[in-house]
Structure 1
Amino acid sequence: MHPVIQKTLGGLSTQYYFRQFFFGLAVATFVFFMSAQGDRSMSAGMLFFTVVSTFLYPYSRFVYESIVGFIMGENVFFVNAIFMMISKFVTMAMCWVFAIFVAPIGLAYLYYHHSKAER
């Protein structure tokens, strides 16, 4: 595999990538389900966006979790479970929708991190 691809797309652990990919598929499934409810079918552009967002979602989520981890540190908050599940779903949906914009930041960081580790 090409070193650039290995350092970027292969930069996340397999377990983390597939876990986040599963949740990205869940969001994509919801989008497909909602688009099937109307009279019109999903456009080719929307289909392309859905596929790209699903594959980039793990990198987008990586950026989100890194930022939240930096801001929150090791603090633990005890909140209502329903509130927590709703906020998790909202952040997952936002990471999926904006994955095409946010994921390149994660890919650039992974490339930098793995290049630095090589030296």
Structure 2
Amino acid sequence: MANFIRKAFGGLSLSYYLRHFLFGLLIFALFIFAGVKHPKTGEWNIPVLTILIISQFLYPYARFVYESIIDYIFGNNVFFANAILVLIVKLFTMILCYSFAIFIAPIGLIYLYFYHTKQEKLHNS
């Protein structure tokens, strides 16, 4: 189990993880600002808050899956588009990845585990 955690959760570079973790904090703040408290009682919605906290830590892995798929589809092509449109689409995809991180991130974690297992076998042989 410790081997899986090391290979999967430690599979992203620290700079990549921190970059997306910080972007995730902005999305977390957006969701908190949008309202995690009950409108009438003002009490925190604990299940939603729990999902947001879990999504915060899984977001970099979900973003890794998304970026890997986009890189595979588009390759090294360069597209010219309106900057405002690109930023809107990027923000939309970031919020989607954050919202569904609980479902998307396990794909990335499994991929990272098998990738690092394969690299370890190649290194040892």
CA deviation after TM superposition for structure 1 residue 15, in Å: 0.2
Paired position in structure 2 for 1:103: 105
Paired position in structure 1 for 2:48: 46
Identical positions, percent: 48
Conservation of the 8 A alpha-carbon contact between 1:35 and 1:42: no
CA deviation after TM superposition for structure 1 residue 42, in Å: 3.1
CA deviation after TM superposition for structure 1 residue 34, in Å: 1.1
TM superposition outliers: structure 1 runs of 4+ over 4 Å: 36-39
Q: Which ranges of structure 2 fall in alignment gaps of 5 or more residues?
A: none
Correspondence for 1:81 among 68, 79, 83: 83
CA deviation after TM superposition for structure 1 residue 3, in Å: 1.8
Task: Give the length in aligned residue pairs.
Answer: 119
TM-score of the two chains, using structure 2 as the length reference: 0.90
**Higher-Rg member (1/2):** 2
Rate the CA distance shift 1:98–1:88 in 2: closer, same or farther, 3 A.
same
CA deviation after TM superposition for structure 1 residue 25, in Å: 0.7
Q: Distance in 2 between matches of 1:100 and 1:86?
A: 23
Q: Which ranges of structure 1 fall in alignment gaps of 5 or more residues?
A: none
TM-score of the two chains, using structure 1 as the length reference: 0.95
Aligned Cα RMSD in Å?
1.6
CA deviation after TM superposition for structure 1 residue 36, in Å: 6.3
Q: Distance in 1 between matches of 2:27 and 2:115?
A: 29
Paired position in structure 2 for 1:9: 9
Paired position in structure 2 for 1:115: 117
CA deviation after TM superposition for structure 1 residue 114, in Å: 0.3
CA deviation after TM superposition for structure 1 residue 45, in Å: 0.1
